[in-house]
């Protein structure tokens, strides 16, 4: 089993830039796509994801130092460190049940499709770590009971696939992702809480009729409403709040402007490779299984290039830090997951049809709840990280992606009912 785990970890460490093209190529062959077309599409998708990772790196490399500077300037003292999704994923893969859960989760997905319980074929194998995180949670709480750990992972997966189906129409309409659903665990969990809250925000008198989207901003403010200029100002404001000097403020502003321009182009490149495969799959399903449709499940990274999404995410960064300071009972210092906020609000933005104001208001409530859940999750999260290099004894650890994830928090409470 140890050898199997190491083999699985080696494969998954290749990352989505390798795993996704392989999965797409195999899927294309299964649905009778010509080999040449399958190779071209798979490689284009891989190149698109390389570009997306490079552009996300711009966001991460700028938000990390800003957060550190913000903590220093404002003398924040919160004793639980947000290790971010990389740390959470590493802790999940370190669980003894990780290797067996890959085929189990794939099998559950196929079974649900066969039973018409989902239309989403989740080929984003790399992001199965979210399901494994739920299994690892069950493993820690139950004291190492395998069958219970597998049950926790499967319950989490079912919730994610149902959410991916339910949100597919809004994802397609707002982000232009035809035939695509987004079964990313954190995106689905934050959307499950955030969509009802966003609906309530849309009913508030005086707010419900205010529609602030990128198109409206651009029409009203001209050049100052273009995504690159919006990114420039948001980046400069973040750097200003962290106490940067003039040079640092300008560099951060230009970096955020670059993100706003480059991310949509990388997503467009990825979609150039994906659309032919998606159309082939849909045609195959219509021919062989009349009346049935199938969505290709991808990483929510394909949605964060939308200007409304990234604008909402950037605005929520300082709000998240402020919430961490003022919320009674919170012990988590947001850090590692600040750059991941656009993933968390993806379904909220889609539900609000790109309305930035409504999305920010709903996102504020969701992040507040997430911080409290992450605080409650600290003990189990710290135990999950015990075998991961770089996280020493005595540290108090959590994350928004795993610990502040509503679905995983439900799994935690479910496990604690029995153990």
Q: What are phi and psi of 242, to 5 degrees?
A: -90, 0
> What integer pLDDT is reported at residue 57 of this predicted model?
81
> What integer pLDDT is reported at residue 282 of this predicted model?
73
The model's pTM: 0.84
> What integer pLDDT is reported at residue 177 of this predicted model?
87
**245 secondary structure, DSSP code:** -
Burial pattern 84-117, b for ≥16 Cβ within 10 A else e, equals: bbebbbbbbbbbbbbbbbbebbbebbeebbeeee
CB count within 10 Å of CB 43 equals 14
Read off the pLDDT of each residue in 249-261 and give the average, rounded to a whole number. Answer: 88
> What integer pLDDT is reported at residue 159 of this predicted model?
97
CB 387 within 8 A of CB 357: no
323 has a pLDDT exceeding 70: yes
> What integer pLDDT is reported at residue 307 of this predicted model?
87
Read off the pLDDT of each residue in 344-373 and give the average, rounded to a whole number. Answer: 96
Read off the pLDDT of each residue in 366-371 and give the average, rounded to a whole number. Answer: 97
> What integer pLDDT is reported at residue 239 of this predicted model?
87
> What integer pLDDT is reported at residue 393 of this predicted model?
64
* pLDDT tens column, 20-30: 788 888 888 88
> What integer pLDDT is reported at residue 358 of this predicted model?
96
Among 328-342, 362-376, 388-402, the range of highest mean pLDDT? 362-376
- SS3 of residue 80 by DSSP: strand
> What integer pLDDT is reported at residue 3 of this predicted model?
63
1 has a pLDDT exceeding 60: no
154 has a pLDDT exceeding 90: yes
> What integer pLDDT is reported at residue 11 of this predicted model?
67
Q: What are phi and psi of 269, to 5 degrees?
A: -65, -45
* pLDDT tens column, 73-102: 767 778 888 888 888 888 888 888 888 888
Beta strands, E only, 46-140:
80-82, 120-122
> Taking the mean position of all CA atoms in its chain, how far away is CA 174?
17
Which tokens hold the place of 141? 């709480």
Read off the pLDDT of each residue in 309-320 and give the average, rounded to a whole number. Answer: 89
Between residues 355 and 6, which one has the greater pLDDT? 355
> What integer pLDDT is reported at residue 414 of this predicted model?
96
**121 secondary structure, DSSP code:** E
Using alpha carbons, list the distances in angstroms from residue 79 to 84, 121, 179, 325, 386.
15, 40, 44, 12, 17
CB 228 within 8 A of CB 260: yes
Q: Residues 6 or more apart from 182 whose CB is under 8 A from it?
A: 164, 167, 171, 188, 297, 298, 299, 300, 302, 303, 346, 347
> What integer pLDDT is reported at residue 96 of this predicted model?
86
Read off the pLDDT of each residue in 47-62 and give the average, rounded to a whole number. Answer: 81
Which tokens hold the place of 131? 């399901």
* pLDDT tens column, 173-221: 999 888 899 999 999 999 999 999 999 999 999 899 998 887 777 776 6
């Amino acid at each position: 089993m140890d050898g199997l785990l190491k083999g699985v970890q080696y494969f998954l460490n290749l990352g989505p830039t390798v795993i996704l093209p392989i999965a797409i190529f195999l899927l294309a062959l299964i649905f009778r796509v010509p080999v040449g077309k399958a190779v071209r599409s798979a490689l284009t998708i891989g190149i698109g994801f390389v570009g997306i990772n490079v552009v996300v790196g711009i966001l991460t490399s700028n938000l990390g130092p800003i957060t550190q500077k913000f903590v220093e300037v404002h003398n924040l003292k919160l004793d639980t460190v947000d290790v971010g999704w990389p740390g959470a994923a590493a802790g999940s893969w370190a669980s003894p049940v990780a290797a067996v859960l890959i085929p189990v989760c794939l099998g559950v997905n196929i079974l649900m499709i066969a039973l018409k319980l989902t239309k989403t074929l989740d080929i984003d194998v790399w992001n199965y770590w979210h399901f494994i995180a739920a299994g690892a949670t069950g493993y820690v709480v139950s004291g190492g009971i395998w069958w219970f750990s597998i049950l926790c992972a499967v319950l989490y997966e079912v919730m994610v696939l149902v959410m991916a189906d339910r949100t597919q129409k809004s994802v397609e309409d707002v982000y232009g992702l035809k035939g695509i659903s987004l079964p990313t665990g954190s995106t689905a969990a934050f959307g499950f809480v955030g969509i009802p809250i966003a609906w309530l925000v849309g009913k508030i008198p005086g707010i419900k009729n205010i529609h602030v989207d990128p198109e409206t901003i651009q029409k009203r403010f001209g050049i100052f409403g273009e995504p690159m200029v919006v990114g420039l100002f948001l980046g400069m404001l973040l750097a200003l709040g962290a106490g940067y000097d003039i040079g640092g403020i300008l560099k951060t502003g230009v970096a955020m402007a670059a993100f706003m321009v480059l991310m949509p182009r990388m997503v467009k490149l990825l979609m150039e490779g994906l659309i032919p495969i998606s159309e082939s799959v849909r045609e195959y399903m219509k021919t062989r299984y009349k009346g049935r449709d199938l969505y290709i499940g991808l990483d929510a990274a394909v949605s964060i290039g939308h200007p409304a999404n990234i604008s909402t995410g950037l605005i929520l960064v300082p709000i998240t830090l402020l919430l961490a300071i003022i919320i009674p009972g919170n012990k988590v210092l947001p850090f590692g997951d600040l750059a991941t906020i656009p993933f968390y609000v993806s379904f909220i933005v889609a539900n609000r049809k790109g309305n930035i104001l409504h999305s920010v208001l709903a996102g504020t409530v969701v992040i507040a709840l997430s911080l409290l859940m992450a605080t409650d999750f600290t003990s189990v999260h710290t135990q999950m990280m015990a075998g991961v290099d770089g996280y020493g004894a005595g540290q108090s650890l959590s994350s928004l992606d795993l610990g502040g994830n509503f679905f995983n928090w439900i799994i935690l409470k479910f496990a604690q009912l029995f153990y």
